[in-house]
Structure 1
Amino acid sequence: MSTLTGSLVGQLRVVRYAAATSAAEFRQTYTWRSWAIGWLGRMLSQVTFFALIGVMLGSPERTRYLVVGNAVMACVIETMTVVTNGVRERQEGTFPLLAASPATLGTVLFGRGLYQPVSGAVTALVTLFVLAPAFGVRPRAAQVPALALLIVVTALSTYGVGLVLSAVVIGLPGARNVVSNTAYLLMMAICGVQVPVDFWPPWVQAVSEVLPLTHALAAIRELMAGHATTDVARSLGLALLTGVLWLLLASVAVRLVRERGRRTGSFDYGA
């Protein structure tokens, strides 16, 4: 086994064990009832609120636009809660051990937060297939597998954005919730969730182009509208590309945090 292959296998093993810890934490945080009523109920209510704006406007097209956009956004909102994970790890005192271990800190943090995009994807799928039909949005049976794949891509691609911000707020623990909320509200505003991207001035559109949600949501809308497969594939490709770039940026950001923590001895139980 080559050194590169051995390193890759080792990193995947770290992700596996970190993800197992993540799943155990999720089970301790939620019961099926508290998740379904407390979290899913909240997301369904939020999507209903925005859908009713379209109903009040008397526009089925606008209602459809808001339902689809906010159903997908439900996935992103949950995924972006990963922003607080780095601060939590620091407060729980695991950073000194992780910084001293041979495992890459970024790999551990990636695995530790995986339940968030997974749960977010489930939330979005339930919203899209259970609530959306009440507002006239009924995906065709043939579209279901592709829609499920696109929702998973949305969750994982925006996960990279959350990991970058998680690294940033490790040194600013008091700002973690502000950063998390600001990030998803910004994406909700400019990525085509509530209004088309071309509603905004060119410089805002340019910002939206580097965010995976813009392209993932465009692919979902194109698929549901019956556009050509090439259009969907192009948007999907851009979502994957920007998602990978954000994950690479997250890896660099976490590495810088780790090196600074080792150099300054700042991996304490910071509040």
Structure 2
Amino acid sequence: MTETLVGQLRVVRYAAAASAADFRQTYTWRSWTIGWLGRMLSQVTFFALIGVMLGSPERTRYLVVGNAVMACVIEAMIVVTGGVRERQEGTFPLLAASPASLGTVLFGRGLQYPASGAVTALVSLLLLAPLFGIHPTAAQIPGLVLLVLVTALSTYCVGLFLSAVVIGLPGARNVVSNTTYLLMMAICGVQVPVAFWPPWVRAVSDTLPLTHALAAVRRLIAGDTAAAVTRSAALALLTGTLWLGLAFLAIRLVRDRGRRTGSFDYGT
């Protein structure tokens, strides 16, 4: 068991190193800061100004926190396109033939997305949010960093599951990615409280890690008890773990089908 775990962690480490190299090829510090970070800060500001226009400081703060945290989710969901990309680049036949778990490899290969997203969300919360009346204390910052990482990684697991689903539907990858994060933005407490929705929608939102992770962030900033924050964070980790299990199961099914039918070649 220990050797298996160590081996899996080694696979994740090497796959994450490849994902970091991809990130460096995609962005320079200038293009990431001005292009990506600037875009996400503009989005948070846009929604915050809706609260300002409504003349409600409480609504403004609600929108700022929700959309700042949402920034890491939007980037984490880019992993939905990752499986299709690997297939189109022709790496699947080699990965399927290797002794390493395909799910473990794909998990590590997309880790640049939640990592970058977490930085974006933290910049939004720590540098932009104070302009709208939100001032996390120094004692809250370590917890805030941890909760943003929990948010990014747990929602990344949802994206990893969807990545496996769209491997056979490459043309749908962007539609699925965008639709999913927009759905989460609508029902997980980003723009309106979860209680706004009917019971069946609330039931769906409870299956998504963002609902619980965002609740934990709001409770932390509001100065709620450590027990309440921990409870919400634990629910986020639990739902994220369940989605990760579903992702590994879906990826295994895709791998087995690809081996059986020989359908792993360049998106065919």
**What range is the shorter-chain TM-score in?**
over 0.9
Counterparts of 1:88 and 1:233, CA distance in 2:
37
1:187-210 deviation per Cα after TM superposition (whole angstroms, max 9, x unaligned): 000000000001000000000000
* Equivalent of 2:141 in 135, 141, 144: 144
1:101 aligns with 2:98: yes
Q: Which structure 1 residue ranges, 4+ long, deviate > 6 Å from structure 2?
A: none
- Normalising by structure 1, report the TM-score: 0.98
Alignment of 1:50-69 (within 5 A): 50-69=47-66
- The alignment's TM-score, normalised by the length of structure 2, stands at 0.99
Unaligned runs of 5+ in 1: none
Is 2:33 aligned against 1:36? yes
CA RMSD of aligned residues (A): 0.6
Residue 228 of structure 1 and its aligned partner are, at CA, apart by 1.2
Aligned 1:43-122 pairs, distance under 5 A: 43-122=40-119
Deviation at 1:137, TM superposition (A): 1.0
User: How far apart are residue 138 of structure 1 and its match?
Assistant: 1.0
Give the equivalent residue in structure 2 for 1:218.
215
- Aligned position for 1:258: 255
Paired position in structure 1 for 2:203:
206
Q: Percent identity?
A: 81
- Which of 140, 165, 169 is the matching residue for 2:166? 169
CA–CA distance in 2 between the matches of 1:85 and 1:35? 19
Amino acid at match of 1:84: T
**Structure 2 gap ranges (5+):** none
Equivalent residue of 2:224, what SS? coil
Q: Does 1:184 align with 2:184?
A: no
Counterpart of 1:168, as a letter, is: V
The residue identity in structure 1 corresponding to 2:248 is: S
SS at match of 1:170: helix
Aligned equivalent of 1:158: 155
